Structure formats: C-alpha cells, structure tokens
Chains A and B, each alone.
Chain A
Amino acid sequence: MSEVVVTGIGVAAPNGVGAEEYWKAVVAGESGIRPISRFDTARYPIKLAGEVPEFDAEQDFTRRLMPQTDRLTRLALFAAEFALEDAEIVPEELPSYSMGVAVSSSTGGLEFGQRELQALWGTGWESVSAYMSFAWYYAVHTGQISIRYGMQGPSGVVVSEQAGGLDALGYARRRVRKGTAVMTAGGLDGLICPYGVAIQSSTGEVGTGTDPERAYLPFHLDSAGHAIGEGGAVLVLESREDAERRGAPRLYGTLAGYGAAFDPDPAGPGGDGLVRAARQALADAGRSAQDVDVVFADAAGTSALDRAEADALCTLFGERGVPVAAPKALTGRLLSGGGPLDVATALLAIRDGLVPAVAAAPPGRVDPRIDLVAGAPRSLEIGTALVLARGRGGFASALVLTGP
C-alpha cells in the first residue's frame, strides 16, 4: 500500500493565518483567544473565543461568492488555496478526476444560517436567501473547494465533532491509497455568532472566565473548561511516489497510521476509546508506543475528560512516558478544524525539531502524570508523532505521523 505524504499545509487559525504565521505564533506562545469581537457578549456566559483575525487577502475574495458563503467557507477556500500553493499544485494542469476534496465541518456556517433564520422567522420565507439551501450545510466547504479548483474525484465529508477532522484525513488517506492523486483534506469549523455561542454554552464545558490567559488550561488541576474557537487547516495529500515524481517542493511527513473508536463513557476513568484508537493507529503504522516521540493531545480542558486522557496516555506510555503538546490551548477548540490544525502543527514541529509549549503553570498545578510541554518550546528530534482527538458523545480518533 502506498505511503501517503503531506505536501502542502494551509492554516486559518485564531493566532495566525498561513502556516508560517501560525507556526511563528505557536512557537512564541502567542494565544489567539481574546474577548469576542463579533457581537456584544454582555448577556452571554461565554466572553472569550479564538476568532480568526481579518486578513488582507480577504479584501480580494471573489466578489461573486461573497453573498453565497459564510466566512467559515471563505476561510476554508483560503486554507485550500494556501495548501495548494504550498504544494505547488496547479489544479488546472491535472486531470479533474484525479483530485478530490474532504474538508470536515460540524456546520457550514451558522452565522449565515442565523441571519437567514432571522429572515424567515422575523419577516417570512420569501425573504430568505436563495443560497441558504447550501450555504450552511456540512458539505459546503467541500463542494465549494471542488467547484473552485475543478476537483471532480471522490470527495466526502466525515463529521464526528472534534474527532471529525482526523477522520476526514483518514478518509482522504484511503482515497490516495486507492488511486486518487491529490486529496485536499482537513477541517474548518466554528460557531462564533450569537446563536452558536448560546448553543455551545449549553454544554457547561466551556470556560466562562474573562482572563484570556486562564481561558483554556488543559491538564491543569484547576481547569474550568475549554475556550471555543474557529478555523482549522487544509492539507494536500499525495502518494510518496507521485510527490517524488513531480518533484514536490516539500514533504512534511507521512500519515502513517489511523485508528478510530467509540467510547460510550468518554469522561469515565481509563480513556478506553483513546487507547483503542491509538493502538489501532500505531498498528496501522507498524509502530509501537516506544517509537512515539511526542503526543498532540486532545486536551479537553475539563477535569473528567483530561483525567481520562491522562489515564489513556499512562496506559499507552507509562507515567510521564512521552512529551505531551497541547497547542490548542492557544486557539481554543475548533471542532472539526482542531484535528487537522494539530496535524499541521505536528508536521511543523517535526520539520523544526521543536515541540510547542503552552503557558507555564505554577508548580504542582498540572496533572503530575503528564509531561506537558509548558513554558518554552522543547527541542526534540521527532521521528513519530501521535495526534489524538475526541468528539463530543464518545468519538475517539488517532493519527500517527512520521517524518519525511
């Protein structure tokens, strides 16, 4: 079975747009979590979020597509563009059926949706946009990317909340292994509009503080929930043979193994779903736990889920058996965008031999069983990285990355 490599990375994250800008911010420990700017949060329990800042290229976005897209879809289109440029792939030059798209999302764009719901309920159905039929459903990013680049090959959308982005990459990896030359895959997600924030406040798992520096402290003993965020990443996947044959400018690494499992009790002790997903992914990659140099954790930020993940890491690697990175503490949880962004981060970490850090914690405040990389990035030659993700309700997914 052919090896599937990543040849392009496109990022739209709260702390940086574009892979290099984002990576610079991550290495510097810069957080994108700030007071919500998009609407007045006075009556909302959630005050903070990782919003993707506006950037110059947005001004030049195709005017024709403006009225039919939520900003989230535009971010997905930009992330795809960045990734294809990074890979130096010119879609017009390739057979259309040899390219496919798999960009996961739990919402196509709820801000667009809320606006049209308001038109329907406030005014009447005749005032609803003709674009509503597709502008907010889960497959919209994938459909729009396929149209923009003439990608007519196998495409699909796999949704499993925060685990969905890894599942989309797993799906895309199957496509490349079965003959699709180029897959544009990842996830872009987020719910930062009044109704979206109200929806997320219903779980009780989102922090309600106002201090951005304390908004999301995974594995901390005094963690009080996660921060929400928007954005994600799109990757270009190819077979190693194809990438080498065409002289791809960059080989970031290999998607060496994938595994997924369902855990009916995700907050219970043991982290059984994560353990099974990780073991499958390692077996798929032909690796063992000893080979793993760093884990990019799901890092849920609520005490029960963090404890379950720490249990899982202890079962897999032993106590403090592996360095653990949690860069999503700098972006908030991005739903389907989170897994692909972690994969992008892990690939850049492999490239630069540097594990990104979360803010330093006072002594004794982090789960002592976890070797959480904090304070400053850690220099480390990384041959194999494990990325974990859990989706609300019991989804657990794992991806094993190896260096180029």
Chain B
Amino acid sequence: MTRRAVITGIGVTAPGGVGREPFWELISSGTTATREITRFDASGHRCRVAAECDFDPLALGLTRQQVRRTDRVSQLAMVSALEAVLDSGLEIDGRLAERTGVAIGSAVGGTTTMESEYAVLSNSGADWLVDPAFAVPHLYDYFLPSSIAAEVALTTGALGPASVVSTGCTSGIDSVGYAAELIRDGDADVVITGATDAPISPITLTCFDVIKATSTRNDDPATACRPFDRTRNGLILGEGAAVLVLEEYEHARRRGARIYAEVAGYASRCNAFHMTGLKPDGREMADAIDAALVEARVAPDAVDYVNAHGSGTKQNDVHETAAVKRSLGEHAYRTPMSGIKAMVGHSLGAIGSIEIAACALAMQHGLVPPTANLHEPDPACDLDYVPLVARERRLDTVLTVGSGFGGFQSAMVLTGTGRAA
C-alpha cells in the first residue's frame, strides 16, 4: 500500500509574534515585521533593517541548560518543535519514538555564536592565531549545524533517523521533502521536520550587503522589502523557524488526528549556472515544479495558489514569475501567487518551512495571505500577486517554490484533506 505523508502539527516562531496563531494573524493581515536591527549595532552597514523574533526561550519551555548549550538557531527550532508536537497531539514514546525521525533545514546554522565567539578568541579580528584558551565548552556544538537536529530530537524524544538538510535558501523545502520521503520509504512513521535560521549577525548581513542583495531602504523599515513591486531594491533578512509534524497518513487517520494537508509532491533541481545568479528564464525551477506536480498527480491547472519565493530582489522576482508561467501556462494568470517575505523577512533556510506552514494555514482558513508593500506593479512581473489584502479562496492544491545560492531550485505541492480522506 502506498504510504503518504501528511501534516498533523505546526509550530512557528517568526518575527512579529511568537507561535502559530500570531504568525497567521500577521501574515493574513498584511502587516510587516521588518524593523531597524536591534540584535547588534548595524550602524555603518549597507542595510540596517531586518525582521527579528522577540522570543524568550525560557518562557517557551526550554531549560537553562538547553539555552546555555545551544545557539539561537537551535532554540528557535526547539520551541517550534514543542509547539508542533503539542498541536499534533502525539505522544512520542515507546515504539513510536524509534519510528520518529528528525529532518531540520538550515542554511547558516549556528553562525551567530560562531561569530561572536570568534570575535572573543581573535581579539575582534586582530589575531589570525586565535586564542583557544577562551573557547567556551560548547563551542563545537554551536558551530555544528547538526546540533540543531540533535537538540530537536532530544527535545521531542525522537529516536529515529535524524539529520540537518542544508541547501542554502531552499533548505526549508528540501528538509520537508526529505522528511516526506523518509515516511513514504518506510524509514519512519513520523518525522519532526521544518527549518530554522538565525542569521541576523554582522557576518551574514555582510554576506548579503557585499553582493548588494539587501534593500537600502533604511529610512522606512516597514516597507523595505517590496516583492514584485517596480520599486523593489533587495531582500531583508529575517530569522525564525517552522516545525511540522509529518505523519504517515494511515497512522494519522487511525488516531483521528487533524490533518492540515498532504505533502503530495516535491522536487529539487540545480541551475548549474552560477552560485548566486539566476537565469531569467526560470527553466530549472519550472522543471522542479513540473516534477512536483507529477509526483502529486496534480494537473498544472488544478493549482489554486502559488506561494512565491518573492525575495524582493530584481532578478529573483522576474525569474520565478517566468518559471511559474512556464509550468502553469495560461493558468498562471488566473492563479493567486503571493509571498510573505515583505512581512517576515528572508530567513534563509528557515523561510521555506515557514512558507509551507503559511500554505497549510492558508488551506485551513481558506484565505490567501497577501503580498505586502506591493503598490506599484512591475510590468516585468505580470501575475496576480494578491497585493496588500488577503483573499478568500478555497484551497485544495497549493504550490510553494524556493530558490537558493548554489543554484538550488525546489518546489512542493500540498493537497487538501478532502483528497487525503
């Protein structure tokens, strides 16, 4: 019998409000959480705006020891995992624990602590031969991206296959795709999956500043990121995590679980073109979309909503508009396609999973979240981007796409519970 993977729990820690419900309120109301950076002194940087999370890991259930030994990137994932498991109603113990895996995406892992500790060991960059005597005991764990998956496994009690999936900014789609595969292939019955990133640090901001990918609209933080708008001038970094409980369909049905959606199709491709550049034709992303639709056994014209990557850079928004047209044909013009990055920022590897959570919640509410800050349509982006105001619509089939450094292009198709039942 064919095994299928369904979402039965959602936890989100995103800018503008901690938890699944505040996240949905924010993105369905078109409110932006981008603001002047407070996590470090960004004065002098090209971009001084980001979407930051205000969260207290202790108040959200982590212990002091857990907080001490982990970077913020793990903490975001751990509190989101607790929310997701609670939402699913699962008790992860006994035999089920061995059948529960973990697959968490992250683009830059524990970079924040890695950098702050570097600053100490190197005397603020003065010494090449950094002083190991100042290395804190958990430095290696902060450094290792895989610590995130280990901490999520420890937090939830999962004993099955665990790993971090890292493919830059498509990590959050690829991790859920990998998790769905673990369920379909029979490696696990439940996978705690999703993605996390906490990149609001000098080095990561610099990475995007030096290639001029960031917006310079520092005087107006709330409208700094403008996906698909003629005046868009770059992305705004964000941080956060979304964790999903992915469960084998029969397992979920037997226990009467609430099913948000089925992860019905997924595919990834590489453009094999440039580490950061995109070809305007969107050919490889289109191939990923086509393959994901085939796996989901969904016709292109059945897609009710496209959740866009919509990073707000000149090249990205044109690239994915071309890709969606290539895959959906004329139907692309009739399909609402919105992006949430103007509201919650681009949290690199995390955002793909945050967007999957947004899609699942949109399906639950029958409401397409809007693209915020879209006032002046760009003639080069001529699809229906649902500007400013959410739109009611029954959503049975939803497509989400992502694009990342390294040339990675990923697409995922979610289908509704009507079909799954």
Contact = CB atoms under 8 A, between A and B. Distances in A.
B333 interface: no
A194 interface: yes
A147 B273 contact: yes
A122 B166 contact: no
Interface of A: 39-40, 43-45, 68, 96-97, 100-101, 106-107, 114, 116-126, 128-134, 137-140, 142-144, 146-147, 149-161, 163-164, 167, 171, 174, 194-195, 197-203, 259-264, 273, 276, 280, 391-395, 397
21 contacts: A106-B146, A114-B130, A117-B122, A128-B206, A129-B210, A133-B405, A137-B166, A139-B406, A142-B406, A154-B268, A156-B167, A174-B181, A195-B122, A198-B131, A199-B140, A200-B140, A202-B135, A261-B160, A264-B153, A392-B140, A392-B150
Interface in B211-262: 211, 213
Given A158-B164, A159-B164, A117 B141 contact: no
A157 B165 CA distance: 6
Contact of B168 (A116, A137, A174): A137
B132 A201 contact: yes
B80 interface: no
A186 B404 CA distance: 21
Given A121-B125, A149-B272, 11 more contacts: A118-B122, A123-B125, A125-B46, A125-B202, A130-B211, A143-B405, A144-B275, A160-B164, A260-B187, A264-B153, A392-B144
Contacts of B164: 158-160
Nearest to A117: B118
A202 B139 contact: yes
Most buried by A among B132, B135, B146, B160: B146
A159 B175 CA distance: 11
Contact of B132 (A117, A124, A198): A198
B128 A194 contact: yes
Contacts of B165: 156-159
Contacts of B45: 125
Interface string B123-167: 011101111110111111101111101110110001111111111
Contact of A395 (B132, B162, B166, B276): B162
Interface stretch (B23-31, B102-110, B322-330, B336-344): B102-110
B185 interface: yes
Given A199-B143, A393-B147, A134 B276 contact: yes
A264 B159 CA distance: 8
A161 B275 contact: no
Contact of A261 (B129, B140, B149, B161): B161
Interface of B: 44-46, 98, 101-102, 107-109, 114-115, 118-119, 121-122, 124-126, 128-133, 135-141, 143-147, 149-151, 153-154, 158-168, 174, 178, 181, 185, 187, 202-203, 205-211, 213, 267-276, 284, 287, 404-408
A151 B203 contact: no
Contacts of A161: 144, 146
A155 B205 CA distance: 26
Contact of B271 (A119, A120, A152): A152
Contact of A198 (B130, B154, B166, B181): B130
Contact of A171 (B154, B178, B287): B178
Nearest to B405: A134
B146 A393 contact: yes
Contacts of B115: 117
Contacts of A395: 146, 149-150, 162-163
Contact of B210 (A68, A126, A155): A126
Contacts of B150: 262, 391-395
Contact of A160 (B44, B162, B178, B209): B162
Contacts of B213: 133
Nearest to A273: B159
A154 B405 contact: no
B135 A146 contact: no
B130 A106 contact: no
Given A125-B202, A132-B207, A156 B159 contact: no
A100 B270 CA distance: 8
Given A143-B408, A394-B150, A394-B154, A151 B144 contact: no
B125 A150 contact: no
B44 A124 contact: yes
Contacts of A158: 163-166, 178
Contact of A133 (B44, B125, B129, B207): B207
Given A125-B210, A151-B270, A195-B118, A202 B137 contact: yes
A394 B119 contact: no
Contacts of A199: 114, 135, 139-140, 143
Given A130-B210, A158-B178, A118 B406 contact: no
A392 B268 contact: no
Contact of A132 (B101, B178, B210): B210
The 6 closest A-B pairs by CB, nearest first: A143-B406, A121-B125, A393-B150, A122-B125, A260-B161, A198-B132
Nearest to A119: B125
Nearest to A191: B143
Contact of A114 (B118, B168, B273, B405): B118
Most buried by B among A44, A100, A120, A397: A120
A262 B136 CA distance: 26
Contacts of B404: 139
Contact of A44 (B132, B161, B203): B132
Given A40-B129, A202-B138, A134 B269 contact: no
A143 B162 contact: no
B407 A147 contact: yes
B272 A96 contact: yes
A151 B181 CA distance: 22
A144 B150 CA distance: 28
A24 to B, nearest CB: 33
A30 B83 CA distance: 52
Contacts of B101: 260, 262
A373 to B, nearest CB: 29
A138 B34 CA distance: 27
A223 B209 CA distance: 47
B268 A128 contact: no
Contacts of A167: 161, 163
A43 B121 CA distance: 12
Contact of B269 (A117, A153, A262, A393): A153
Given A118-B128, A195-B130, A152 B166 contact: no
A180 to B, nearest CB: 11
A122 B126 contact: yes
A391 B203 contact: no
